[in-house]
A and B are shown apart, each in its own frame.
Chain A
Amino acid sequence: MAAAGTLLRGLPLVPSVVLLVAFLAGPILYCIYSAFTDMALTGSSSTEFVGFDNFVRAFTSPAFGQSVVYTVIFTVVSAIIGQNVLGMLLALLMRSGAKVVRALVSAIVIGAWVLPEVVAGYLWVAFLGPDGSLNGWLIGLGLPTQNWLFTTPILAVSLANIWRGTAFSMLVYSAALSEVPKEIEEAAVVDGAGPWRKLVSVTLPMLRRTIATNLMLITLQTLSVFGLIWTMTKGGPSDRSMTLPIYAYQQAFQFSDLGYGTALALVLLLIGGVFSVVYLRALRLEENP
């Protein structure tokens, strides 16, 4: 009875599991295997098992260490702080904004999200570049100008990624907020809680799960951002915006070292795993048995 019950309960999972097993399980295992080989799509006709060589090579390479640091900076600044906070801010503000304003703002924010990545990259180059509109205004205000992509490349790409990716957090938080029963918030107000207190002790705790899920998803997405950075800086200048995906791309694609590139990607996943564990702990989401 119990076993049959468990099986039946699991039935709705079947379509998903079938698709995942049929199309992803094998390729993923193969992919993990390839991280332990010298696999290449071109330049060599044989593939050999090389054990942990790819990982040893990564951890002894200064370029790798540097790219991990930039990846973490990029993720913390653009996803955890930027997209997450701005997304929440927008979602909260929109609850009481005028209808026209809401429609306008959300359409613009979504518009930034749906533009092709390479175009988003170009538009930020046009904005931040030496002759960009930002410098134009700085001149107008009598302030010193600079080539933002040259002086602070990692912040420039982070800013672009906040701009591009906040729509997702905004939508997730908006949807979650609309599911928060108004009565509870109203009760807090009747009890004399100030707005800040209401937010911190009533609204946000109710969104804990959503915040954790959102942080996890945007972290994973941001860790693997490639096209935007590639278009804007190609990881430069002097590798000062070389995040792990850029480094891995260069190795796997340009240098035809798929095995090493895949090993780098596994390390990237590990970093994502560490972030996720932190979120789940910090937001106390372990399900108690």
Chain B
Amino acid sequence: MATQVDRPARWRGMVAMAAAGVLAAGLTACGSDSGDGDANTITVSYRQWGDSRIQENYLTGVKTEFEKANPGVTVQLEPVVASEDDYFTKLQLQMRSPRTSPDVVYEDTFLINSDIEAGYLRPLDDQLADWPEWERFTETAKGAGKALDGKTYGIPDGTDTRGLWYNKELFAQAGLPADWQPRTWDEVLTAARAIKAALPGVIPFNIYAGKAVGESASMQGFEMLLYGTGDTLYDDASQKWVVGSKGFTDSLQFIKTVYDEGLGPSAQQVLDPNWNNTVNQQLLPQGKVVISLDGSWISQNWLDTGAAPWPQWSTVLGNAAWPTQQGQAPGRVSMSGGWTWAIPQNSDNPDMAWQLIALLGDKDRQLRWAVDNVQIPVRDDVATDPSYLQANPTNEFFASLVPITTYRPAYAVYPRISNEIQVATETVITGGDVAAAAQAYDEQVRAIAGDAVQPAP
């Protein structure tokens, strides 16, 4: 097709242009250095959510206080606006290189153990030994940043808890009490059946299941159930994943019952990846979902600054703790996540970084953060502080769950295990058999965790 052309003399123009191109490429390659080799600069990387200024204002305030107390030191805030996965990829890449590693990082309890196993973070036990403030943190919260090796790598700045949200107005219509507190799973089902009978066309009880809603199905759904049966996902003493427990099949059976009886959403609804937002921004405010098992944070949707303002929410909705299966002690169940502050292995000023984390962990700072960001506090003195309790109508309730809450066994394989939980719940809500789903889960866990698996006692 192309004709042979062979006229070297005519190439001068093109050669010149090509050379210019290369030269340009070479010149621009001389960039500037932006690493934070300066030992007097503390770089803080954190995930910034949404366009709210709450976190930015809070951290800027802390930065000013810290710089005032430590003359000559600069705190450089590096907020990262991204999805969770992208945030972690960037953070991990930065932490791998001493030249770009931040000094203080914000780590989700969901992933901190993975980063610890990858060797990205420093243990903080030496510092904690000399830090009196640590005594004020609740015992459960101290485990948030604790690794398999028994050392602590992260200081939590708050947490979240989970429980029931229910519509008091619709409860009245269905003849249910306004101050509802179910004692057992059966009492929840009884209430849901009463609602179904009295109020056709509503979703009596929303409990998440299936892969589409992701971790919501594991944590707000299945794990809330399992941790109220006396069984567990992971045995801390033997450091093994538990398979074949009765609690596991009971929990699946409960979910199956809810969906089969039409007490929950349809499988089609919950298998929509946007179901969380649909429930919280539309169906709950519209009174189309009556009870929802969800997180402490969902009222953020309804604040003036939220995605779906709903001024009446605090009078319409009530809260109740999720009960254990048969009402066995402690009677209530909650799961927790949340974020921690940690110091990367490659930080070039770990001592100063600790000073900053210590400041972020004191009462005043934690109180301010809990109030401003509607966080559930991890310090007992913050949880009982009047200014915290008055800040949001649900603060007292959800903070009261902290002593009995459980952190996920978020070790490196947890994301896969969690995925298998979601698969099992999806199986049972789409007509599958509970025993088969539980057996498939057991097989997958053995494949994922290898030797670190044990049958339930």
Task: Say whether A and B bind each other.
Answer: yes
Number of interface residues of B (CB under 8 A): 43
Q: Which of A85-93, A164-172, A253-261 contacts B (4 or more CB under 8 A)?
A: A253-261
Given A42-B115, A255-B419, A287-B1, the answer on whether A11 and B268 have CB atoms closer than 8 Å is: no
Contact A234 B214 (CB under 8 A): yes
Contact B268 A41 (CB under 8 A): no
**A44–B268 Cα gap in the complex (Å)?**
38
Contact B211 A234 (CB under 8 A): yes
In the complex, chain B residues whose CB is within 8 Å of the CB of A149: 272
Given A44-B117, A234-B273, the answer on whether A19 and B210 have CB atoms closer than 8 Å is: no
CB-nearest residue of chain B to A231: B273
Contact B274 A125 (CB under 8 A): yes
Determine if A98 is an interface residue (Cβ-Cβ < 8 Å): no
In the complex, chain A residues whose CB is within 8 Å of the CB of B89: 41, 253
Contact A236 B118 (CB under 8 A): no
Fill in one digit per residue for B109-152: 1 if any A CB lies within 8 Å of its CB, else 0. 00100110111100000000000000000000000000000000
Determine if A26 is an interface residue (Cβ-Cβ < 8 Å): no
In the complex, chain B residues whose CB is within 8 Å of the CB of A19: 25
CB-nearest residue of chain A to B7: A5
Q: How far is the CB of B215 from chain A (nearest CB, A)?
A: 10
Contact A8 B274 (CB under 8 A): no
Q: Which of A9, A14, A237, A287 contacts B271 (CB 8 A)?
A: A237
**A22–B29 Cα gap in the complex (Å)?**
11
In the complex, chain B residues whose CB is within 8 Å of the CB of A9: 5-6, 11
Determine if B68 is an interface residue (Cβ-Cβ < 8 Å): no
Q: How far is the CB of A157 from chain B (nearest CB, A)?
A: 12
Given A44-B118, A149-B272, A150-B268, the answer on whether A256 and B412 have CB atoms closer than 8 Å is: yes
Contact B212 A233 (CB under 8 A): yes
Determine if A144 is an interface residue (Cβ-Cβ < 8 Å): no
**A5, A9, A22, A256 — which one has the most chain B CB atoms within 10 A of its CB?**
A256
**A7–B119 Cα gap in the complex (Å)?**
50
**A43–B19 Cα gap in the complex (Å)?**
46
Determine if A130 is an interface residue (Cβ-Cβ < 8 Å): yes
Contact B268 A43 (CB under 8 A): no
Q: How far is the CB of A251 from chain B (nearest CB, A)?
A: 9
CB-nearest residue of chain A to B282: A131
Q: How far is the CB of B24 from chain A (nearest CB, A)?
A: 8
Determine if A18 is an interface residue (Cβ-Cβ < 8 Å): yes
In the complex, chain A residues whose CB is within 8 Å of the CB of B120: 42
CB-nearest residue of chain B to A122: B274
Given A14-B18, A254-B419, the answer on whether A42 and B111 have CB atoms closer than 8 Å is: yes
Given A43-B114, A150-B271, A234-B211, the answer on whether A18 and B1 have CB atoms closer than 8 Å is: no
Q: How far is the CB of B268 from chain A (nearest CB, A)?
A: 4
**A284–B84 Cα gap in the complex (Å)?**
47
CB-nearest residue of chain B to A13: B18
In the complex, chain A residues whose CB is within 8 Å of the CB of B88: 41-42
Fill in one digit per residue for A114-146: 1 if any B CB lies within 8 Å of its CB, else 0. 000000001001000110000000000000000
Q: How far is the CB of A12 from chain B (nearest CB, A)?
A: 5
**B17, B111, B212, B426 — which one has the most chain A CB atoms within 10 A of its CB?**
B212
Contact B25 A15 (CB under 8 A): yes
Determine if A276 is an interface residue (Cβ-Cβ < 8 Å): no
In the complex, chain B residues whose CB is within 8 Å of the CB of A253: 85, 89
Fill in one digit per residue for A6-42: 1 if any B CB lies within 8 Å of its CB, else 0. 0011011111001100100000000000000000111
Q: Which of B22, B118, B274 contacts A14 (CB 8 A)?
A: B22
In the complex, chain A residues whose CB is within 8 Å of the CB of B272: 125, 129, 149-150
Contact A130 B269 (CB under 8 A): yes
**A125–B278 Cα gap in the complex (Å)?**
12
Q: How far is the CB of A256 from chain B (nearest CB, A)?
A: 6
Contact A40 B212 (CB under 8 A): no
Determine if A147 is an interface residue (Cβ-Cβ < 8 Å): yes
In the complex, chain B residues whose CB is within 8 Å of the CB of A250: 419
Contact A236 B11 (CB under 8 A): no
Fill in one digit per residue for B238-280: 1 if any A CB lies within 8 Å of its CB, else 0. 0000000000000000000000000000011101111000000
Given A129-B272, A231-B273, A237-B210, the answer on whether A18 and B415 have CB atoms closer than 8 Å is: no
Known pairs A43-B118, A44-B118, A129-B272. 14 more at Cβ < 8 A? A13-B18, A19-B25, A22-B25, A41-B89, A42-B92, A42-B111, A42-B117, A42-B120, A42-B412, A150-B271, A234-B211, A235-B211, A237-B211, A237-B426
Going nearest first, the 7 A-B pairs with the smallest beta carbon separation are: A15-B21, A43-B412, A237-B271, A45-B119, A43-B114, A42-B114, A150-B268
Residues of A within 8 A of B (CB): 4-5, 8-9, 11-15, 18-19, 22, 40-45, 122, 125, 129-130, 147, 149-150, 231-239, 250, 253-256, 287
Residues of B within 8 A of A (CB): 1, 5-6, 8, 11, 14-15, 17-19, 21-22, 25, 85, 88-89, 92-93, 111, 114-115, 117-120, 210-212, 214, 267-269, 271-274, 412-413, 415-416, 419, 426, 430
Jot down 12 A-B pairs with beta carbons below 8 A, ordered by A.
A4-B8, A11-B18, A13-B18, A44-B117, A122-B274, A235-B211, A236-B271, A236-B426, A237-B267, A250-B419, A256-B415, A287-B1
